Amino acid sequence: MNVTVRKGDTLWYYSQLFDVPLQLVIDSNEMENQESLEPGRKVAIPGYVRQTYTLDKGESFWSVATKRQLALDTLFLLNPDLNPKELKIGETIYLPVSVGKAFVKRDQPYDSEAMARDINRLTTVYPFVKRETVGKSVEGKPIYELRIGNGEKKVHYNGSFHANEWITSSVIMTFLNDYLVSLTNRRTMRGLSTAPFYDQVALSIVPMVNPDGVDLVLNGPPEDQTHREKVLKLNKGNGGFKDWKANIRGVDLNDQFPAKWELEQKARAQAPAPRDYPGESPLCEPEAKAIADLTKKRDFDRVLAFHTQGRVIYWGFEEHEPEETETMAQEFSRVSGYEPIRNVKSYAGYKDWFEQDFRRPGFTVELGSGTNPLPLSQFDEIYQESLGIFLASLYL
């Protein structure tokens, strides 16, 4: 929600008026001088939307503010062109409405278009969230990164490396939405105040690494004739793609990283396929390269890649991980009920490469249990299990 600055207004005053943490207001407007605002400029108030209200007989700004439990000056601020002494029956005014609930939908399939809509809305309501396109898929779809917080601890989440694990994107976006509601409304999550996390953690999220693959699983073959013919051929003419893990070119993106990739190549499929083909060389696919480049650029302190399924937490790679990785894995297990497993005989994954090259904690979190793609009926259970992991990754 934007407001027009009046003479003497400050960001501090707005934070008090709307009861929003000052730092969130500052970061929503990217302003160096927060004390002196030029009258007439627009300022964003995070966590709020404007709502129209039609005046009834005898109503005034005072009565409406009292009835809605609003600070009176918020109505003057949102309705600068109205004379409060000359209000009329049926006249429309604007009210500030605090967004107190998450709006990311958890009860429907979550393709790249649904995610893009949610990202647009989140960055509008919460402009302190920074969006960046860090790469593009084979089909040219944007790979989005969302960044929240100002801390020195750099934490990264990603989801949907595998196409039929799209529910991970929905879980991550739901957590993000709940986190933002908590920050702007000064609420706790699982009894934890989230305000310190914003100051202590720089959180990076890539909710959907493989948008082409997710859309293939959920919506069927693409319109592009070349890719359409290829995926149908790789899928043996079957128009249903629920078992598809790869990107649109038939490359498994989580087998693309230079962490003993050659061993993975020998053990896996030798040509493009719906799953398990590591590609012609490490990082040959644009989606995998985008995540590798982002990881190098941001220099993360820890990373969590969310997959399905198995209710396990994989950690460790060839003993390259630091000692604190085990402590973190045990805490993730405690808060989720998932089993921590070290050093599985698998190579070329994102977590493997991160631990090998950065020597920092990396985790592959396998959400839920059953057969991919997991049904939406599991969503609430999965979310409650993963919530502890999300939060623990911020406070550890």
pLDDT in tens, 299-317: 999 999 999 999 999 999 9
Domain boundaries, the chain: 2-98, 112-213+281-395
At 66, the pLDDT band (50, 70, 90 cuts) reads very high
| Contact between 47 and 98 (Cβ < 8 Å) | yes
- One-letter amino acid identity for 328? M
For residue 132, pLDDT beyond 80: yes
pLDDT in tens, 16-64: 999 999 999 999 998 766 667 899 999 999 999 999 999 999 999 999 9
Tokens standing for residue 294: 């982002």
Instruction: For the full predicted model, state whether its pTM sits above 0.85.
Output: yes
For residue 70, pLDDT beyond 80: yes
The fraction of the chain above a pLDDT of 90, given in percent, is 95
Task: Write down the pLDDT at residue 33.
Answer: 61
pLDDT in tens, 149-175: 999 999 999 999 999 999 999 999 999
Yes or no: domain 112-213+281-395 corresponds to CATH 3.40.630.10:
yes
Q: For 175-197, b where at least 16 C-beta lie within 10 A, e where not — what string?
A: bbbbbbbbbbbeeebeeeebbeb
The rounded distance, in Å, linking the Cα atoms of 229 and 311 is: 36
CA dihedral sign, ordered 228, 234, 240, 244? negative
Determine whether 366 is an active site residue.
Answer: yes
Task: Write down the pLDDT at residue 155.
Answer: 98
The pLDDT mean for the chain works out to 96
Task: Please pick, among 165, 285, 321, 366, the residue that the annotation labels catalytic.
Answer: 366
Residues 6+ apart with CB under 8 A from 212: 137, 138, 139, 141, 163, 222, 247, 248, 287
Task: Write down the pLDDT at residue 344.
Answer: 86
The rounded distance, in Å, linking the Cα atoms of 89 and 213 is: 55
At 197, the pLDDT band (50, 70, 90 cuts) reads very high
DSSP β-ladder status, 302-308 and 153-159: parallel
pLDDT in tens, 311-348: 999 999 999 999 999 999 999 999 999 999 998 888 99
Q: How far is CA 43 from the centre of its chain?
A: 25
For residue 146, pLDDT beyond 80: yes
Task: Write down the pLDDT at residue 32.
Answer: 67
Task: Write down the pLDDT at residue 50.
Answer: 97
Annotation: CATH topology of 2-98: Membrane-bound Lytic Murein Transglycosylase D; Chain A (3.10.350)
Segment 185-205 mean pLDDT: 98
